[in-house]
């Protein structure tokens, strides 16, 4: 699972007269990742689409346009046999004509409705003014202007205008009508000239003789009739959608498949009489692929396994060629003459080799079935692994949910995360389904750690509700005085996890480097970091200079094992050996990779970065505690040296306040509710406390994804992947398609 599927580079050589059958067989087998011919060899040129490709693409464009108009959903079809060309064309023409007519009519009605609405909007100011439209135009001796403005500035401007002999202003709401008589009988535009500098929006008077209210009513009636017609057209389109959606989805799939087959030769190398198709197939699938081509065309085409890709990470991805030199299937005297000629053309153009197609990098088929498979989504978000790299999906599967669960560690939140994941897994496909699986695993580990932390349930220790005096081995997350040692111990756990995690990354880097170069380079480039990492941390956990090191480094083991195992630190001799190993690592690094000496502290810094696991654990636990504290109140028992306990009820609050040994932290909102004397204040407090608790825990739940999820992903991508992983591999895209709406008869 740490390596992708092994790939074989293959070629299919044959006469052009069987190219259709070869493409059909390769498409049905759905395993050949075709590589594009790059025109490097004399005598070959890129192929052209087969006859009929243009017609198929035109039909495909029509189908997709109709699907867009009808808003066809992917679930609107059942699996059915494909239609023949004549049936498909006839049905497509019928549906297209009907849909286009209805769509054109819908566009006309929508434009008409929009025009009526714009006219209504234009008339609303005149309706507010309350003057019949016929009185606002058609005068010779006076000018009439309508606009939206404040009356004061308008009247002042008109009064100061020497070109105006007399005027009157009619106001209705924010709209006003100005009637003015110019001083000169032949003057024009004197009102607009007088209003220069005044904030006014001029309005054109509509060409109508009725009152504005009547005109608006007429327009609204017309708009209502148009909307009724539009609704009828929409209903008819929905009816057409119900009838034609299945056909359109099947037609799109069928036409897409046929178009892909017709355009497949664009990636081939061709001559006048022959073709060569090269690409990659999984090595295990090659015998079946070879048999599929042979079943389709017999000896009319030759299939060769040219070479098998190895996992050497230096760019030389291939073992020795397999084929004629390795006992492969070269052309023989018994081959079909057309096949022999095609093979001869290829060998002549390539000096007996094969026509090179594009890049030599094999595509990557990640081999992570079962539970680890969905975690490919997280790896691909960083970058698909190169064929030569280790695939870290399995390691992400083993570490990401554990880190997430460690940071949240709450049974209640874990159940919700798992439930959300189950919903996504059952209701969606593709990436959302895989993300749902990741969420379920993260939720499961959150539940497990929640139980470990004292049956933590939304920030409350549920074991305290169990009958009897039950003492849970783990006191909590380090949030209260009683469990401070646990918080410090979880810091040590985070650091130790980081050491193990980074060691795995460096070991993978060591293996990759030894295969890419040799053992010496692996020692210089990866072994040096292993020595520095482990040597430095062995020294830190040793008894050398014990007074300068915090006690919790050595007490954590005893705390975590409930006193069953103690650890006083590595002996001084071991600490010295660790220091020597770290110095040796620095020397090897300086010999092999001198520029990297500038980062000699990174093994310590990167491990300390894992302390964020404990930090998020305390932060999320503290947020849940704060929510419960506000809603229900809490106190600390045993004179301030014990654990937090929530109050919940008014009676319990009275008890805490009367007990000298118990320290009240916060009374809580809900404790104002007294069942013995129910009042308005108490009911509001009860409801308010519940709302605070629910909303607060929803916020903590969401922040858990953005904090714990992002921090876990960051540790995977930056600290872990940075040691051995680059990404950037090619996606495996085999010729062919999985049918969803049609079945192959």
Choice between 311 and 419, residue whose per-residue pLDDT is larger: 419
Can you give the C-alpha Rg of the chain in angstroms?
40
What CA–CA distance (Å, rounded) separates 319 from 306? 10
Provide the pLDDT confidence category of residue 471 given band limits of 50, 70 and 90: low
pLDDT in tens, 625-645: 889 888 888 878 765 566 677
What CA–CA distance (Å, rounded) separates 732 from 364? 6
> Tokens standing for 291?
């048999």
Share of the chain above pLDDT 90, in %: 42
What residues contact residue 235 under an 8 Å CB cut-off, 6+ apart? none
Q: Do domains 7-41+268-363 and 118-217 have the same CATH topology?
A: yes
Choice between 365 and 355, residue whose per-residue pLDDT is larger: 365
Side-chain half-sphere CA neighbours of 459 within 13 A: 29
pLDDT given at position 326: 43
* Residue 46 parent element (H or E): strand 45-46
What CA–CA distance (Å, rounded) separates 63 from 613? 53
Question: Helix (H) and strand (E) counts for the chain?
Answer: 22, 17
Asked if 347 and 353 count as a contact pair (C-beta separation under 8 A), the reply is: yes
Side-chain half-sphere CA neighbours of 423 within 13 A: 6
Looking only at the bridges linking them, the beta strands covering 363-364 and 456-457 are unpaired
Choice between 616 and 471, residue whose per-residue pLDDT is larger: 616
What CA–CA distance (Å, rounded) separates 187 from 624? 80
Residue 674 has pLDDT above 70, yes or no: no
Residue 271 has pLDDT above 50, yes or no: yes
pLDDT in tens, 27-78: 999 999 999 887 766 778 888 999 899 999 999 999 999 999 998 887 766 7
Provide the pLDDT confidence category of residue 339 given band limits of 50, 70 and 90: low
pLDDT in tens, 136-148: 877 888 888 888 8
Give the three-state DSSP class for 733.
Answer: coil
* Residue 120 parent element (H or E): helix 85-129
| 712 phi and psi angles, rounded to 5 deg | -65, -45
Of 161-175, 480-494, 499-513, 674-688, give the range with the top mean pLDDT. 499-513
The residue among 570, 358, 562 whose CA lies nearest residue 475 is: 562
| 499 phi and psi angles, rounded to 5 deg | -60, -45
Site of tokens 């049609």: 742
pLDDT given at position 264: 93
Residue 277 burial (10 A CB sphere; 0-12, 13-18, 19+): buried
Other C-beta atoms lying within 10 Å of the C-beta of residue 525? 22
What CA–CA distance (Å, rounded) separates 115 from 149? 26
Write the DSSP assignment of 558-575 as a string of letters: HHHTTTSS----B-HHHH
What residues contact residue 222 under an 8 Å CB cut-off, 6+ apart? 116
List the end-to-end C-alpha distance of the chain, in Å, as a whole number: 36
Looking only at the bridges linking them, the beta strands covering 663-666 and 201-203 are unpaired
pLDDT given at position 20: 93
Residue 23 has pLDDT above 90, yes or no: yes
The residue among 474, 465, 480, 530 whose CA lies nearest residue 502 is: 530
pLDDT in tens, 517-553: 788 888 888 899 999 999 999 999 998 888 888 888 8
What is the per-residue burial (b if ≥16 Cβ within 10 Å, else e) of 369-390? eeebbbbbbbbbebebbbbbbb
Average pLDDT in the chain? 85
What is the per-residue burial (b if ≥16 Cβ within 10 Å, else e) of 125-164? bbbebebbbeebeeeeeebbbbbebeeeebbebbeebeeb
Asked if 339 and 14 count as a contact pair (C-beta separation under 8 A), the reply is: yes
pLDDT given at position 321: 53
Site of tokens 């999820």: 709
The residue among 559, 56, 473 whose CA lies nearest residue 264 is: 56
Task: Name the pTM for this structure.
Answer: 0.77
> Tokens standing for 175?
């709209």
Strands (E) across 205-294 are located at 269-270, 274-282
Asked if 602 and 390 count as a contact pair (C-beta separation under 8 A), the reply is: no
Residue 237 has pLDDT above 60, yes or no: yes
Of 175-184, 595-604, 713-722, give the range with the top mean pLDDT. 713-722
Provide the pLDDT confidence category of residue 331 given band limits of 50, 70 and 90: very low
* Residue 7 parent element (H or E): strand 7-15
Asked if 742 and 79 count as a contact pair (C-beta separation under 8 A), the reply is: yes
> Tokens standing for 162?
């020497």
The CATH topology of domain 7-41+268-363 is Alpha-Beta Plaits (3.30.70)
Asked if 191 and 155 count as a contact pair (C-beta separation under 8 A), the reply is: no
> Tokens standing for 571?
């002996």
What CA–CA distance (Å, rounded) separates 220 from 329? 81
Q: Which residues pair with 168 in a beta bridge?
A: 179
The residue among 374, 384, 370 whose CA lies nearest residue 431 is: 374
Domain 118-217 has what CATH class? Answer: alpha beta
Write the DSSP assignment of 567-613 as a string of letters: ---B-HHHHHHHHHHHHHHHHHHHHH-GGGGGGTTHHHHHHHHTTHH
pLDDT given at position 357: 47
| Domain positions in the chain | 7-41+268-363, 59-111+219-261, 118-217, 620-718
Asked if 292 and 27 count as a contact pair (C-beta separation under 8 A), the reply is: no
Other C-beta atoms lying within 10 Å of the C-beta of residue 471? 8
pLDDT given at position 538: 93
What CA–CA distance (Å, rounded) separates 105 from 237? 11
What CA–CA distance (Å, rounded) separates 90 from 67? 17
Of 123-127, 227-231, 350-354, give the range with the top mean pLDDT. 227-231
> Tokens standing for 120?
């209504």
pLDDT given at position 717: 94
| 176 phi and psi angles, rounded to 5 deg | -135, 150
Residue 194 has pLDDT above 50, yes or no: yes
Asked if 670 and 690 count as a contact pair (C-beta separation under 8 A), the reply is: yes
pLDDT given at position 638: 67
What CA–CA distance (Å, rounded) separates 215 from 177? 18
Provide the pLDDT confidence category of residue 7 given band limits of 50, 70 and 90: very high
pLDDT given at position 648: 72
Site of tokens 């190219």: 19
What CA–CA distance (Å, rounded) separates 391 from 514? 17
Provide the pLDDT confidence category of residue 392 given band limits of 50, 70 and 90: very high
pLDDT given at position 315: 45
Q: Please tell me what DSSP assigns to residue 547.
A: G
What CA–CA distance (Å, rounded) separates 437 from 380? 16
Choice between 571 and 640, residue whose per-residue pLDDT is larger: 571
């Amino acid at each position: 699972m740490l390596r992708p599927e092994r790939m074989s580079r293959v070629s299919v050589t044959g006469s052009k007269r069987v190219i259709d059958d070869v493409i059909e067989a390769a498409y049905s087998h759905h395993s050949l990742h075709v590589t594009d011919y790059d025109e490097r060899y004399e005598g070959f040129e890129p192929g052209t689409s087969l006859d009929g490709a243009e017609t198929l693409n035109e039909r495909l464009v029509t189908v997709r346009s109709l699907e867009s108009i009808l808003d066809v959903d992917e679930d609107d079809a059942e699996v059915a046999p494909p239609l023949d060309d004549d049936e498909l064309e006839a049905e497509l023409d019928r549906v297209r004509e009907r849909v286009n007519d209805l769509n054109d009519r819908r566009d006309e009605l929508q434009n008409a409705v929009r025009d009526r609405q714009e006219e209504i909007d234009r008339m609303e100011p005149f309706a507010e003014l309350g003057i019949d439209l016929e009185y606002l135009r058609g005068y010779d001796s006076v000018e009439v202007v309508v606009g939206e403005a404040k009356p004061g500035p308008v009247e002042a401007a008109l009064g100061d205008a020497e070109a105006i002999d007399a005027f009157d202003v009619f106001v209705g709401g924010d709209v006003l009508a100005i009637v003015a008589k110019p001083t000169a009988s032949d003057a024009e535009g004197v009102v607009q000239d007088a209003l220069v500098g005044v904030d006014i929006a001029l309005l054109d008077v509509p060409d109508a003789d009725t009152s504005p209210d009547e005109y608006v009513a007429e327009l609204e009636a017309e708009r209502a009739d148009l909307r009724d017609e539009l609704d009828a057209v929409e209903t008819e389109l929905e009816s057409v959608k119900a009838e034609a959606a299945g056909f359109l989805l099947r037609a799109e799939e069928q036409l897409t498949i046929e178009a892909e087959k017709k355009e497949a030769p664009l990636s081939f190398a061709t001559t006048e009489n022959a073709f060569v198709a090269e690409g990659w197939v999984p090595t295990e699938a090659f015998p079946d692929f070879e048999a599929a081509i042979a079943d389709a065309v017999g000896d009319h085409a030759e299939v060769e396994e040219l070479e098998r890709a190895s996992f050497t990470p230096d760019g030389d991805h291939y073992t020795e060629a397999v084929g004629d030199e390795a006992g492969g299937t070269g052309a023989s005297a018994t081959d079909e003459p057309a096949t022999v000629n095609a093979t001869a053309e290829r060998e002549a153009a390539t000096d007996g080799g094969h026509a090179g197609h594009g890049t030599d990098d094999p595509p990557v088929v990640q081999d992570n079935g079962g539970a680890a498979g969905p975690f490919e989504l997280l790896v691909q978000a960083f970058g698909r692994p190169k064929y030569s790299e280790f695939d870290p999906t399995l390691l992400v599967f083993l570490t990401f949910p554990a880190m997430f669960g460690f940071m949240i560690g709450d049974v209640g939140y874990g159940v919700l995360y798992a439930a959300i994941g189950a919903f996504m897994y059952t209701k969606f496909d593709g990436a959302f389904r895989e993300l749902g699986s990741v969420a379920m695993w993260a939720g499961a580990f959150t539940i497990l750690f929640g139980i470990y932390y004292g049956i933590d349930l939304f920030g409350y220790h549920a074991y305290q509700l169990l009958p009897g005096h039950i003492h849970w081995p783990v006191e909590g997350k380090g949030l209260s005085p009683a469990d401070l040692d646990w918080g410090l111990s979880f810091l040590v756990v985070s650091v130790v996890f980081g050491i193990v995690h980074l060691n795995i990354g460096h070991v993978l880097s060591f293996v990759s480097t030894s295969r890419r170069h040799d053992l010496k380079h692996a020692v210089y480039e990866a072994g040096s970091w292993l020595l520095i990492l482990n040597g430095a941390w062995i020294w830190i956990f040793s008894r050398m200079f014990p007074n300068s090191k915090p006690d919790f480094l050595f007490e954590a083991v005893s705390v975590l094992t409930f006193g069953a195992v103690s650890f006083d630190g590595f002996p001084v001799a071991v600490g010295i050996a660790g220091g020597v190993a770290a110095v040796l690592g620095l020397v090897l690094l300086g010999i092999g990779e001198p520029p990297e000496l500038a980062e000699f502290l990174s093994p310590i810094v990167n491990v300390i970065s894992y302390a964020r696991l404990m930090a998020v654990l305390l932060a999320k636990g503290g947020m849940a505690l704060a929510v419960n504290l506000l809603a229900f109140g809490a106190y600390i028992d045993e004179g301030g040296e014990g654990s937090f306990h929530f109050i919940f009820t008014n009676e319990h609050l009275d008890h805490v306040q009367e007990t000298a040994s118990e320290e009240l932290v916060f009374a809580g909102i809900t404790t104002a509710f007294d069942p013995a004397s129910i009042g308005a204040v108490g009911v509001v407090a009860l409801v308010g406390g519940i709302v605070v608790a629910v909303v607060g825990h929803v916020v903590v739940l969401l922040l858990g994804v953005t904090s714990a999820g992002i921090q876990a992903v960051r540790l995977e991508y930056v600290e872990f992947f940075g040691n051995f992983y680059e990404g950037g591999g090619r996606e495996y895209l085999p010729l062919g398609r999985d049918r969803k709406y049609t079945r192959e008869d």
